[in-house]
Chain A
Amino acid sequence: MTKRTTTHATFVIEREYPHPPAKVFAAFADPKKKARWFGGPDDWEKSNHQLDFRVGGKESISGGPAGGTVHAYNAEIWDIVDNERIVLAYEMHLDAARISVSLATTEIKPTATGTRLIYTEQGVYLDGYDDAGQREEGTQQLFGQLDAFLNT
């Protein structure tokens, strides 16, 4: 029997943008916009990003270095409040192995100068493949790509 382990962790990423909430929300809700920033590094081979942005809708993307391990992301959207909140659960696979399951909430709040974004990821990391530190680093990279997308 395979030795099963779990590690639970939570991390939070916060951003301030000089843009209205609707613009920040659209970067998550509009499949064409989200595809511009949501994915692995530029030199990875990637599948098409798929996003059916509605409660119960699914999102997926996979990719990896040429000839290397395939990282696959599969999500289901649980809750949407327009311009305010997105809740989804997602699982990650490395090739055939499921390495984590996460609950991710994105809160978008108006401020005097634009928008505050609070992304909270509660995750369970399975069987020693990944940990919260690596995931937070990868997610920070994604948010760097979001910053670049929003600020151009």
Chain B
Amino acid sequence: MTTIAHATIVMERTYAASPKRVFDAWSNIEARKRWSAPADNIRIEYEAADFREGGKDVSRCIEPGNADYVATVIYIDIRADQRIVFAEDVVHGNTRVSSALISVELTPKDAETHLALTMQIASFDGAGMEQGYQFGWNAALDNLAKEFAQ
């Protein structure tokens, strides 16, 4: 018998960059590969990347000693420099472990950009994926700041 654990996680950051630069760091696949890996020993490889409404990404999160996490993303709502909404499905090994609805909102704040990331998660493996989202996205959003440091 399966049980689903639902959770909502909100993360916020302020970046020293314009909304356009922050948006570009999401839309540009090379930039995203740099900042989205949550730790030095974790690598992200893309098997498909298509950043447009209705487009699909398939990425593989590779960590030594652990089965890969394969995430399939479908972009549903994209408003340049303002908002990205996507649905994501994660498979670990042969098991589907979660689905999530994720929204990214960018708001200009003086010369900076406020980013709000809201993850609405349905986990199929107990609380494991909720913790995974917490860890992974906290680290990724911290990394994203480095894209604008110069």
Contacts and interface: CB of A to CB of B under 8 A. Distances in A.
Q: Do A and B bind each other?
A: yes
Interface of A: 1-2, 4, 6, 8, 10, 76, 78-79, 81, 84-85, 87, 89, 91, 98, 101-103, 105, 107, 109, 120, 122-124, 126
Contacts of A85: 2, 4, 124
Interface of B: 1-4, 6, 8, 10, 74, 76-77, 79, 82-83, 85, 87, 89, 96, 99-101, 103, 105, 118, 120-122, 124
B124 to A, nearest CB: 8
A101 B82 contact: no
Contacts of A78: 87, 89, 99
Nearest to A126: B77
Closest 10 CB pairs of A and B: A122-B120, A89-B87, A103-B101, A4-B82, A78-B99, A78-B89, A105-B122, A87-B99, A124-B103, A101-B76
B102 to A, nearest CB: 9
A101 B87 contact: yes
Contacts of A123: 101, 120
Nearest to A104: B122
Nearest to B101: A103
Contacts of B118: 6, 8, 124
